[in-house]
Each structure stands twice: as structure tokens, then as C-alpha cells.
Amino acid sequence: MRSEAAAVPEEAAWLRLYVARGTPNSARAEQNLSAAMAGRDDLRPYLEIINVFIEARRALQDGVTVTPTLIACKGGQRQMLIGDLTETNRLELVLAIFGTGTLSHDP
């Protein structure tokens, strides 16, 4: 469930889940995101899970100060969800907004 950021087309959606591996909230966030992503092949190639213990600078560059944090971007839109992603309605809404691959496929 990880892609290299450099491989993401500029117009494509991308998702970054920042976690502190080994903590209960981060483990729940990964599980909840995995469940929400079931069948979402349009987003899976653009998902990165980033362990802040290893890549702290990336977290700071993205403005992440707490974990877990999910950042979704597409074009000029950016949305952050903070917490273990148990609010499935908000998570599903973000995935719906940022899904469907590239901007050229948008209605």
C-alpha cells in the first residue's frame, strides 16, 4: 500500500497517511483506511503510509504535527483528517471527493 511520491502525476489524487507505527491509534487508522479502500482501485496506487518515526521531515513538510493524520490532495484541493479514521462518514466523503483517478476523468 505504498507508492513513491515522484511517480504520482501532478493532476492525480494522492493520499498520505502519517502514522506512528506501533501505537494503537495509528494501527486503528491503518485498519480503518484499509477497510474504506476495499474496492477503491482508483486510489490505491496513490496511497502512501508514512511512519513518522522514520520520515519525520516529510511529516513536518506536510504540516503534520499529530498522528495519525490522513492528507488527501487533488489539484488545488487538500483535506486533512486527524485521528484513527473511525468517523467513517467523513472518511468515505473524502475518498469520494478525491477518488476517480486523474482530474481529466472528473465530470
Work out the average pLDDT over 81-100. 89
**Does the pLDDT value for residue 101 go beyond 60?**
no
What's the average model confidence in pLDDT over 7-12?
Answer: 58
pTM for this predicted structure: 0.81
pLDDT higher than 90, residue 31: yes
pLDDT (0 to 100) of residue 10: 58
Domains in the chain (CATH in brackets) are: 5-98 (3.40.30.10)
CA torsion angle 54 58 59 61 (round to 10): 160
pLDDT at residue 105 is higher than 60? no
pLDDT tens digits, 35-50 = 998 887 777 778 899 9
Average pLDDT over residues 83-99: 90
Alpha-carbon gap, residue 97 to 3, rounded angstroms? 20
Radius of gyration of the chain (CA): 13
Is residue 40 within 8 A of residue 68, CB to CB? The reply is: no
pLDDT interval class at 9 (50, 70, 90) = low
